[in-house]
Amino acid sequence: MNGPVLTGGKSTQPQVAVGWPLLPVPDASGTLAWPDAAISVKQMIEVILRTTPGEQLMRPQFGAGAEALIWQPNTLAVRTQARQAILAALESYEPRIVIDRVEVAAGADPRELLVTIAYRLALTGAPDQLSAQVPVGAG
């Protein structure tokens, strides 16, 4: 065989893509701490939940708009609409996960919704869950 023989320490196993850190702050030496796959996915889910469609330039459909719910009443119709928006946004913009369930329920306080997202990392199958409280009923 002619030419170099490539033997490297790099794994041939597929890797979960890791995105840019949500709040990139360099450490004392000036380097960025990159999140692992699980943290990167959680950060992206948070971005999707917090972003209202139309808010990002060049991606007018991006986001679930959970923060816009503050002006909505805490009704079954609003909770159903929020669940559908969250599910659609996650399916469209976070390909690294397989969604097991999305629940939007009334909280103990009538001015909040409890959002629970259960998912698995698509590449590894590792299960995880994210929960958030969303204020509603201010309108």
* Comparison of pLDDT for 137 and 41, the residue scoring more: 41
Q: Which strand ranges, in their side-by-side order, compose the sheet holding 97-106? A: 97-106, 112-121, 127-135
Tell me: pLDDT of 38 over 70.
Answer: yes
In the predicted model, is pLDDT for residue 84 greater than 70? Answer: yes
- Assess whether pLDDT exceeds 60 at residue 77: yes
Q: What is the pLDDT of residues 14-32, one digit of tens each?
A: 555 666 666 677 888 888 7
Domains and CATH numbers, the chain: 37-135 (3.10.450.40)
Q: Record the pTM.
A: 0.79
Q: What's the confidence (pLDDT) of residue 28?
A: 87
Asked if pLDDT for residue 1 goes beyond 50, the answer is: no
Grade residue 12 by pLDDT with cuts at 50, 70 and 90: low
Predicted pLDDT at 104:
97
Give helix 37-50 / helix 76-93 axis angle, nearest 10°.
Answer: 130
Residue closest to 16 by CA, chosen among 95, 127, 130 = 95
Tell me the C-alpha distance between 54 and 91, whole Å: 18
Is the distance from CB of 136 to CB of 70 less than 8 angstroms?
Answer: yes
Confidence check: pLDDT of 6 > 50: no
